């Protein structure tokens, strides 16, 4: 210590000082944060794009970013109705233009009237505009077959990530108490591992069963919980349904079992349901934790604490919105299919079909919400207080969320175009999910579970032992080595499975199904071809 002081004095005399903030002195929790979805591979992809622009010769002409679920960057057109309403909200002079349908104008006026000074530019109350929270509550009620939702239990947020971190903040221990353990699925969406590292909570991994289409097994939950008890105080169970990156959709039985488990073990439930509107596979259906919990009756319905998250940044129809379900059996039926999300309050008269179907999104608007169930009233006040420090979620995202939870009704002028645009996206996405699974499973050494929901595939790749060895020599995870080589040789950007977590000795990558179908076909073929070449090279 004394010598450091001397060094400093010396440095000071020379006018040279060390930095206040260095890798050694910075918050070690932040250092431990990792976030693969925007990690080194994406950084390299950006560099390659720049090199291409500068005319550097590459074995490819463009970088295809299949690393992130960003529909509009992939060329998907926005839904006209959403954009028209938003344009009118932004520039209300257009309300007198003859070029916009009447229902678009009514909708914009309704949103503007709910804003301070009738302007999107005013702050809103911290939990979000009251009218929009009421619309979200009605959407949830329709989704859950009439089970009531209280707008006071709904908090709007800047995308789902923001709300998830806020709830986690309440649950971590602080002040030198035993650290809070949080059970998360592996593979997981790395927001969870990143937030837990930052908040200095303990990540408790439970493994999804790849052999059974990434299903969630209660015995595995119990194993994880028991093993965690000696190193932390496990208090939270996170479930991602539909799965990200794994694309599975939980059965109702599974959700019931998870709720019973959480109740018995005294765990706070966090249900990440941001892909609830993106369910593709026949026989798969989305069940909300809120609905199942309520239908299970007491004590679960009355006591089990739950926070359920949605996001405008994902959801269906290329408009970054998570809050709308589209229910179809076959794409050609979409146009005629009644949708529980219409603004009308008439309940959906048809039974839920065997297959549901929904779509990707727009992400730049960053809207979302969390609904809390059975939360302690005092804690809920604390949550509202914490959210108020950031003043309010961005208002354009709030407005977009409102349109998504209450799209045009069949009687309204915008309905027909809205449905047509939706159908186009729907049909293509269903085809892309299928194509992805097919092409991968025809390739030797690649195996892909069905893409039941969300918008990613997470195929498993066999890597030859010599490739694994070479990666280790380079200090890289083997699947990172594979993905980096893939990027350098083909321009295809996917995220290595090690960024999401996977069983020791297995290797995966996450790839979105969002590129236009012809581009996706080419991409899948290139990928298959590259894997074969890579395997040969290291065999």
**Residue numbers 11-40 binding its own copies by CB under 8 A:** 15-17, 19-23, 25-31, 33-35, 38
Q: Do the Cβ atoms of 193 and 498 come closer than 8 Å?
A: no
362 binds its own copies (CB under 8 A): yes
Please give the residues from 143 up to 162 whose contact with its own copies meets the rule CB under 8 A. 158-159, 161-162
97 binds its own copies (CB under 8 A): yes
Binds its own copies (CB under 8 A): choice among 178, 379, 420, 474: 379
Residue among 229 and 390 whose Cβ is closer to its own copies: 390
Residue among 159 and 459 whose Cβ is closer to its own copies: 159
For 262, the token pair is 């959480």
User: What is the total count of residues that contact its own copies (CB under 8 A)?
Assistant: 105
For 240, the token pair is 């991602």
Please give the residues from 458 up to 517 whose contact with its own copies meets the rule CB under 8 A. none
- 176: phi > 0 → left, psi -120 to 50 → alpha, else beta; which? left
C-beta neighbour count of 6 within 10 angstroms: 10
394 binds its own copies (CB under 8 A): yes
Distance CA 307, CA 289 (A): 9
Q: Do the Cβ atoms of 52 and 396 come closer than 8 Å?
A: no
> Which run of H or of E encompasses 182?
strand 180-186
C-beta neighbour count of 144 within 10 angstroms: 18
420 binds its own copies (CB under 8 A): no
Alpha helices, DSSP H only, in 179-247? Answer: 191-198, 218-228
Considering only the stretches 124-132, 248-256, 340-348, 522-530, report the one whose residues sit in contact with its own copies under the rule CB under 8 A: 124-132
x/- track of binding to its own copies for residues 198-237 (CB under 8 A): x-x----------------------------------xx-
Polymer length in residues for the chain = 539
Residue among 13 and 536 whose Cβ is closer to its own copies: 13
x/- track of binding to its own copies for residues 286-325 (CB under 8 A): ------------xx---x-x-------x----xxx-----
For 281, the token pair is 């596979």
x/- track of binding to its own copies for residues 247-266 (CB under 8 A): ----------------x--x
Q: How far is the CB of 339 from its own copies (least distance, A)?
A: 22
60 binds its own copies (CB under 8 A): no
Q: Do the Cβ atoms of 161 and 191 come closer than 8 Å?
A: yes
Angle ∠(514,519,521) on CA atoms, nearest 5: 95
Binds its own copies (CB under 8 A): choice among 212, 223, 231, 390: 390
For 335, the token pair is 């146009």
Please give the residues from 64 up to 93 whose contact with its own copies meets the rule CB under 8 A. 68, 70-76, 78, 83-84, 86-88, 90-91
SS3 482: helix
């Amino acid at each position: 210590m004394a010598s450091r002081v001397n060094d400093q004095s010396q440095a000071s005399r020379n006018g040279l000082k060390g930095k206040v903030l260095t890798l050694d002195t910075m918050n070690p929790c932040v250092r431990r944060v990792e976030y693969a979805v925007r990690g080194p591979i994406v950084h390299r992809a950006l560099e390659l794009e720049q090199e291409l622009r500068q005319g550097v010769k590459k074995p490819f002409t463009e970088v295809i970013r299949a690393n992130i679920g960003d529909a509009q960057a992939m060329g998907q057109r926005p839904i006209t109705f959403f954009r028209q309403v938003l344009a009118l909200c932004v520039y209300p002079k257009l309300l007198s233009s003859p070029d916009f349908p009447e229902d678009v104008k009514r909708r914009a006026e309704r949103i503007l009237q709910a804003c301070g000074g009738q302007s999107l530019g005013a702050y809103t109350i911290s939990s979000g505009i009251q009218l929009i929270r009421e619309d979200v509550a009605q959407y949830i009620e329709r989704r859950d077959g009439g089970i009531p939702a209280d707008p006071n239990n709904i908090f709007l947020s800047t995308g789902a990530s923001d709300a998830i971190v806020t709830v986690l903040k309440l649950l971590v221990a602080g002040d030198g108490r035993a650290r809070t353990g949080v059970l998360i699925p592996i593979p997981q969406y790395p927001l969870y591992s990143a937030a837990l590292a930052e908040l200095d909570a303990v990540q408790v991994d439970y493994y999804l069963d790849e052999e059974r289409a990434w299903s969630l097994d209660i015995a595995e939950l119990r194993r994880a919980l028991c093993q965690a008890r000696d190193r932390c105080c496990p208090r939270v169970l996170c479930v991602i349904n539909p799965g990200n990156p794994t694309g599975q959709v939980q059965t109702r039985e599974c959700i019931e079992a998870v709720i019973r488990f959480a109740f018995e073990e005294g765990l706070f439930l966090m249900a990440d349901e941001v892909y609830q509107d993106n369910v593709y596979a026949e026989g798969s259906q989305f069940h909300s934790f809120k609905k199942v919990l309520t239908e299970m009756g007491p004590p679960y319905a009355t006591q089990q604490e739950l926070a359920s998250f949605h996001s405008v940044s994902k959801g269906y129809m290329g408009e970054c919105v998570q809050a709308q379900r589209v229910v179809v059996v076959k794409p050609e039926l979409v146009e005629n299919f009644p949708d529980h999300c219409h603004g009308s309050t008439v309940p959906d008269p048809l039974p839920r079909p065997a297959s549901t179907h929904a779509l990707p999104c727009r992400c730049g608007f960053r809207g979302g919400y969390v609904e809390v169930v059975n939360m302690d009233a005092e804690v809920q006040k604390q949550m509202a207080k914490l959210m108020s420090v950031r003043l309010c979620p961005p208002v354009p995202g709030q407005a977009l969320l409102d349109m998504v939870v209450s799209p045009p009704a069949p009687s309204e002028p915008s309905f027909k175009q809205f449905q047509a645009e939706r159908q186009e996206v729907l049909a293509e996405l269903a085809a892309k999910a299928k194509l992805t699974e097919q092409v991968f499973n025809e390739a030797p050494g690649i195996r892909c579970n069905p893409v039941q929901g969300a918008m990613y595939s997470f195929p498993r790749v066999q890597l030859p032992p010599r490739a694994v060895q070479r990666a280790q020599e380079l200090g890289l995870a083997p699947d990172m080595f594979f993905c980096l080589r893939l990027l350098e040789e083909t321009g295809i950007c996917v995220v290595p499975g090690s960024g999401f977590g996977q069983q020791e000795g297995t290797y995966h990558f996450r790839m979105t199904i969002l590129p236009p179908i012809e581009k996706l076909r080419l991409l899948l073929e290139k990928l298959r071809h590259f894997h074969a070449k890579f395997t040969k090279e290291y065999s």
